[in-house]
Amino acid sequence: MMILLFVLSLAQAQDTANWQVVGERVISAPAREAGIRHLPLDLLIESGSKWSQATNLKTQLDKTSRILRQCGVVIGEVNIQTVVWNPKTLLEMENASPYDGPNELILMRTVQTPVLKTLGFLYGLNSVPSTASAYNRTSVRRLSSHTVDATPLCETFHITEHHMDYRRVPGANATYDTFAHELVHLMGDVGHIEVYGNLMSAMDGRNSKTGSLTTDQCALINQYPLIVTP
Ligand SMILES: [Zn+2]
């Protein structure tokens, strides 16, 4: 009887879980370097998406590290779970009312433990509508005071696979990177700035968006509590 109950509750858990983990791997942190700190990442990667191909992901993480390096930070250890989203969850996200807060909040519903690391949700093209977003402390505070408690989303970012290509962003040149852009929103707790030729530029025009960061942005990035000193 006990066993039957256990199996039943397990089946139920699988049915209500927002995703099923089909693979796990760890990319170890790069070698220690004087003056360089590490940002560890947790990634939930949609199975079958471009993100799930090791070479694509490596190219992406290397590019982001090159950009962050100007502030003395690179990507550290990366813990990857390859997942299949629950179709019920995707449907629920698609039909969610914007008055209930960001639809990504639905994904955090079954996350029991508090997020202690920067957590990325990386989607394929056909699961969720095109997205590139990040929930930092400021945006979570703003959302929570206007709609619903968005705290579970804090330090998460969400990107669909076509945003691996900088050409998706008007005015961006080849040094720009969306993955790095979203991470800087979290790390620096910053928004966009009126600076031409910057990773966080709000300006329009050719080469307005690049991989550059200002000294002020670097100072804020370095205050991020989730950066570790190896
Ligand atoms: Zn942005």
Total domain count for the chain? 1
Bridge partners, residue 74, by sequence:
38
Q: Compute, in angstroms, the gap from residue 150 CA to the centroid of ligand 1.
A: 18
Per-residue exposure over 125-141, b if at least 16 CB sit within 10 Å of its own CB, e if not? eebbeebbebbbeebbe
Using the mean position of ligand 1's atoms as its centre, give its distance from the Cα of residue 156 in Å: 13
Position 88, amino acid: K
12 CA → ligand 1 middle, Å = 38
The residue range of the domain holding 160 is 20-168
Between CA 87 and CA 19 the distance in angstroms is 9
Whether residue 135 lies inside any domain: the answer is yes
Report yes or no on 176 lying in a domain: no
Selection from 140, 191, 182 nearest residue 163 by Cα: 182
d(CA 79, ligand 1 centre) in Å: 24
* DSSP SS3 for 172: strand
Is the separation of the CB atoms in 39 and 77 below 8 Å?
no
192 CA → ligand 1 middle, Å: 6
Is there a domain that residue 93 lies in? yes
Tell me the pLDDT tens digit for each residue of 122-176: 999 999 999 999 999 999 999 999 878 999 999 999 999 999 999 999 999 999 9
Q: pLDDT tens across 1-12, in order?
A: 555 555 545 545
- Here the tokens at position 129 are 């509508």
CB 205 within 8 A of CB 153: no
CB 34 within 8 A of CB 97: no
Check pLDDT > 60 for residue 31. Answer: yes
Q: What pLDDT sits at residue 98?
A: 83
Distance from the alpha carbon of residue 181 to the mean position of ligand 1, in angstroms: 6
In angstroms, the Cα distances linking 123 to 78, 128, 144, 186 are: 17, 7, 25, 19
Q: Judge whether 141 lies within some domain.
A: yes
pLDDT value, residue 117: 86
Q: Residue 175 falls within a domain, yes or no?
A: no
**Confidence at residue 72, expressed as pLDDT on a 0 to 100 scale:** 98
CA of 89 to the centre of ligand 1 (A): 26
Cα–Cα distance, 208 to 201 (Å, whole number) = 7
Alpha helices, DSSP H only, in 47-136?
54-68, 87-94, 105-108
Q: How far is the CA of 9 from the centre of ligand 1 (A)?
A: 41
Please give the biggest Cα pair distance in the chain.
Answer: 68
- Domain-embedded: residue 197: no
Residue 201 lies in a domain: no
Question: Residue 34's pLDDT band (boundaries 50, 70, 90)?
Answer: very high
- Give 172 Cα–ligand 1 centroid separation in angstroms: 13
pLDDT, position 15: 66
Q: Residue 133 C-alpha to ligand 1 middle, in angstroms?
A: 7
Show the tokens assigned to 142.
């703003």
How far apart are the CA of 76 and the centre of ligand 1, in A? 22
* Phi/psi at 216 (5° precision): -65, -45
- Note the pLDDT tens digit of each residue in 36-76: 999 999 999 999 999 999 999 999 999 999 999 999 999 99
Question: What are the pLDDT digits (tens) for 85-137?
Answer: 999 999 999 999 988 889 999 998 877 555 678 999 999 999 999 999 999 99
Q: Cα of 193 to ligand 1 centre, how many Å? A: 10
In a domain, 86, yes or no: yes
Cα 132 to ligand 1 centre (Å):
8
Tokens 């199975």 sit at which residue? 47
Residue type, 138: T
Q: Which run of H or of E encompasses 187? A: helix 178-187
Cα of 184 vs centre of ligand 1, distance in Å, is 9
The CATH number assigned to the domain holding 95 equals 3.40.50
